[in-house]
Structure 1
Amino acid sequence: MSLNLAVDIGGTKIAVALVDPDGQLVHRAQLPTPDGDAEAVWVAVDTLLGEALRHGPAAAVGVASAGPIDLAGGTVSPINIPQWQHFPIVERVAASSRLPVRLGGDGLCMALGEQWRGAGRDAQFLLGMVVSTGVGGGLVLDGAPYDGRTGNAGHVGHVVVAPDGGDPCACGGHGCVETVASGPSMVRWARGQGWGGTDAKALGDAAASGDPLALKAFDRGARAVAATIASVGAVCDLDLAVIGGGVAKSGALLFGPLRAALADYAGLEFLRGLRVVPAELGGDAGLVGAAALARGL
């Protein structure tokens, strides 16, 4: 049985897995992302790689990383890991594992994982979205991962949904869907309207209990996500959008108003079959997608 190594690098945790040809994780381990310098973060990755390789041989490595990434240079500069600026992740992983390496953005790998083994099984034109502390995404087009020119295609969190005076975004623009639909953005808006809670979990609990302001915050976020899906769907002729992340775990609080709003935004005939479903793989989607990248080497 030929195994592949999968690496998922984010601002909170670093995970490494051995994945079999059916997309099943046969070994998985993770460490918190260190707060130290660039080398401290690398040591965590290297430690997990060594541990995984002691569990069995692998044919190749797929790396899912927060971005921006640079496919041509094999480097990453994650916004949520500021210690890594143009960090040569492909070179380092190849030297440590002595295996061929393929790099992809974390949103792309989430989409690819869901398309291979999750809610998007066999969908040919798929958008994967993560709605959590930020909003990210990735595209599978014509059954294949779509990297774009630099490897950063699918950054749907920065689709502009409020062009006239929208809130400033961490990307340097304003009015991005991330400024409306991320967990912190919904909390910030609700608090500005007089809601007294402090975090996204409390907002979800309040909405589930029928709090009008909390429900309006979810409705506002859901409409922004729906506008984004309709826009990307029109450009890419999608058949499916899969949504994961912490905010998506709220279930009907998000998906109810989202699907209703999508019916308003997706008016073109070829978009009427566009479906929106919750992700199935949870925190392992990036690892499964990274293994799918490795399968292509």
Structure 2
Amino acid sequence: MRTDLVAALDFGGTKIAGALVGADGRILLRAQRPTPAQESGETVVRQVEAVLAELAASPLWAAVTAVGIGSAGPVDASAGTVSPVNVPGWRDFPLVERVRRATGGLPVTLVGDGVAMTAAEHWQGAARGYDNALCLVVSTGVGGGLVLGGRLHTGPTGNAGHLGHISVDLDGDPCACGGRGCVERIASGPHIARRALANGWRPGPDGDTSAAAVAAAARAGDPVAVASFERAAQALAAGIAATASLVEIDIAVVGGGVAGAGEVLFAPLRRGLRTYATLSFVRGLTVVPALTGTDAGLLGAAAAATAGGAGDPVRE
């Protein structure tokens, strides 16, 4: 990587994070705003611009040579547009052009959030040294990315590896994408919590109904909370096994907020893989937690921008 700084944006349904990232992967400055996901597209982009303005106010900004964006998907890297499922105000939204304008014409590289996390994990995380890997972001949604033959594989529009919208329950609940029984509809944080509440789990005195609270209850032995995570793990296992059968990956790396549940998620996930990944060429598949943590999106966006985007996502 070059010695110049890169401005990185990690856009999701809950927050918009920004950072200035050095060539060694060190994050030198951070900024963050909440995502007004149900507001108009212009309201959302103003929050993006506010994050960029905070970064640009630093003297470090003078060393920035490029901008990388990792965005919730789907994205169209060839067109520079984004249509995040959980942000209805953005449909084919020209995010690359708006960021380019906001940064005075700097070159901008766009990748999906799953691809960004994959770039980060392959650069300096759990997928480092593996030629064929699937990396997942399990959070407000479920995204993914692929490394095939030692290279980040983004596909023509930057969405390759987007495991979240593989259907694993043909008669399942409708998903925001228009499908039914998608991995995301079962395994994302909000749906883990929704299922637990629907089946009788109740939060503690603090009223916290997040997936993290469900995970804490599962660790304490609450059977409804345990069952909700087991169902999520089963959906993830089915999606991972299908992907492994299709492209022969060696490792699956799972990150995002839901992965913070630890063995509450990973123990049933490994059991699920023993059920679904039964073919001889996928039985040895390893599943591990991501190492780059909550910075994966930022680090991956920076890596993609510095490289000009593996798999040639858009750069203007």
The answer, yes or no, to whether TM exceeds 0.5 is yes
Structure 2 residue runs of 5 or longer lacking an equivalent are 204-208, 309-316
Provide the C-alpha distance between the structure 2 equivalents of 1:218 and 1:51, rounded to a whole number of angstroms: 38
Map 1:128-167; keep pairs closer than 5 Å.
128-163=135-170, 165-167=171-173
Map 1:142-291; keep pairs closer than 5 Å.
142-163=149-170, 165-197=171-203, 198-291=209-302
Give the match for residue 48 of structure 1.
Answer: 51
Q: What TM-score results when the alignment is normalised by the length of structure 2?
A: 0.86
Matched, 1:7 2:9: yes
Secondary structure in 2 aligned to 1:271? coil
Change (3 A) 1:211 1:129: same
Give the match for residue 90 of structure 1.
Answer: 96
Letter in 2 for 1:183: G
User: What RMSD in Å do the two structures reach over aligned CA positions?
Assistant: 2.0
Provide the C-alpha distance between the structure 2 equivalents of 1:51 and 1:187, rounded to a whole number of angstroms: 34
Letter in 1 for 2:18: V
Letter in 1 for 2:31: A
Letter in 1 for 2:130: A
Letter in 1 for 2:96: V
Higher mean displacement: 2-11 or 138-147: 138-147
Change (3 A) 1:96 1:134: closer
Check conservation: 2:215, 2:225, Cα contact below 8 A. Answer: yes
Letter in 2 for 1:117: Q
Change (3 A) 1:139 1:18: same
Report how many aligned residue pairs link the two structures.
296
Give the match for residue 119 of structure 1.
Answer: 126
Higher mean displacement: 270-279 or 132-141: 132-141
Change (3 A) 1:85 1:181: closer
Provide the C-alpha distance between the structure 2 equivalents of 1:26 and 1:219, rounded to a whole number of angstroms: 39
Letter in 2 for 1:141: L
Change (3 A) 1:272 1:23: same
Structure 1 residue runs of 5 or longer lacking an equivalent are none
Change (3 A) 1:191 1:26: closer
Check conservation: 2:115, 2:158, Cα contact below 8 A. Answer: no
Letter in 1 for 2:64: A
Deviation (angstroms), 1:192: 4.1
Give the match for residue 311 of structure 2.
Answer: none
Provide the C-alpha distance between the structure 2 equivalents of 1:200 and 1:12, rounded to a whole number of angstroms: 14
Give the match for residue 76 of structure 2.
Answer: 70
Change (3 A) 1:100 1:275: same
Deviation (angstroms), 1:272: 2.7
Provide the C-alpha distance between the structure 1 equivalents of 2:22 and 2:210, rounded to a whole number of angstroms: 38
Check conservation: 2:78, 2:156, Cα contact below 8 A. Answer: no
Give the match for residue 293 of structure 1.
Answer: 304
Give the match for residue 31 of structure 2.
Answer: 29
Deviation (angstroms), 1:277: 0.8
Provide the C-alpha distance between the structure 1 equivalents of 2:79 and 2:108, rounded to a whole number of angstroms: 13
* CA deviation profile, 1:121-172 (whole Å, cap 9, x unmatched): 2322221112223222222222322222322222211112122x22221211
Check conservation: 2:118, 2:146, Cα contact below 8 A. Answer: yes
Change (3 A) 1:193 1:34: closer
Provide the C-alpha distance between the structure 2 equivalents of 1:266 and 1:187, rounded to a whole number of angstroms: 27
